[in-house]
Amino acid sequence: MLALLTVCVIDFWLINIPELFNGGHVLGTIIEKLCLSYISAFIFYFLVVHIKQQKDKKNIYNYVAIKSNLIIAYGQTIGRDLAKAADVTMKNYYPNKNELLEICSKVNPYSETPLLINFTGQKANWFEHFENYRIRSMDAIQEIYAKMPFLDTQLVQHLSKIENSQFFSLSKAISPYPIQFKNDTLLNFFSTIFDYINVVKNFEDYYNAKIKQYK
């Protein structure tokens, strides 16, 4: 903007007045050429680089939106499956604190879940169920990370919170453990599950505000 204004001042005003000092005209010509070069470079950048970057970002964020939606859906599914097993009706897609407390008090972590783990009809327990969705979520997160040069820092921050959640760490640690813990409810894991659900919920808010438009 300043470069364009400078060119206009030189061409439409200063050119019509006498030199204020020796070499003023030469200096004005040099400044004008520098400004024109800057304007040309800006136009080139806008047409060739910026527009392409915006187009690339739109295409990439369409992919990011699909993967982000999966991560959110996995979080919602965990809450929904737990609520169904406990016969608790949720008011929203995510259980609130009181709902989750009731759910955790009614669900045995080693009871069967909807997830089939082999062709014989054997169903996973809840720790195995959690691990299944952790792996799926991590696959989606890593696929998004592959587009890192184009990602917004807030997006990376949200994904990092999910990736490093205590729920994911607990799921990864407990699922393959051959000995069952002496827990007949999920109450000991309530805060871990609740924190994870809130992290996913916050990510969904960000998704709706910043990413959904690209889907």
Q: What is the pLDDT of residue 102?
A: 96
Domain boundaries, the chain: 2-42, 55-214
**CA-only gyration radius of the chain, Å:** 29
> Residues 125-137: pLDDT tens digits?
999 999 999 999 9
Q: What does pLDDT average to over the chain?
A: 81
Percent of the chain beyond pLDDT 70? 71
Q: What is the pLDDT of residue 3?
A: 41
> Residues 29-86: pLDDT tens digits?
555 555 455 556 555 545 555 455 666 667 788 999 999 999 999 999 999 999 999 9
Residues in the chain: 215
Q: What is the DSSP letter of 150?
A: G
pLDDT band, residue 1 (cuts 50/70/90): low
Distance of CA 4 to the CA centre of its chain: 39
Which tokens belong to 196?
Answer: 């994870």
In contact, 113 and 125? CB cutoff 8 Å: yes
In contact, 209 and 131? CB cutoff 8 Å: no
Q: Which amino acid appears at position 180 of this protein?
A: Q
User: pTM of the predicted model, to two decimals?
Assistant: 0.75
More confident of the two residues 208 and 182: 208
> Residues 127-166: pLDDT tens digits?
999 999 999 999 999 999 998 888 989 999 999 999 999 9
Residue found by looking up tokens 């599950």 in the block: 193
> How far apart (Å, rounded) are the C-alpha atoms in residues 158 and 12?
53
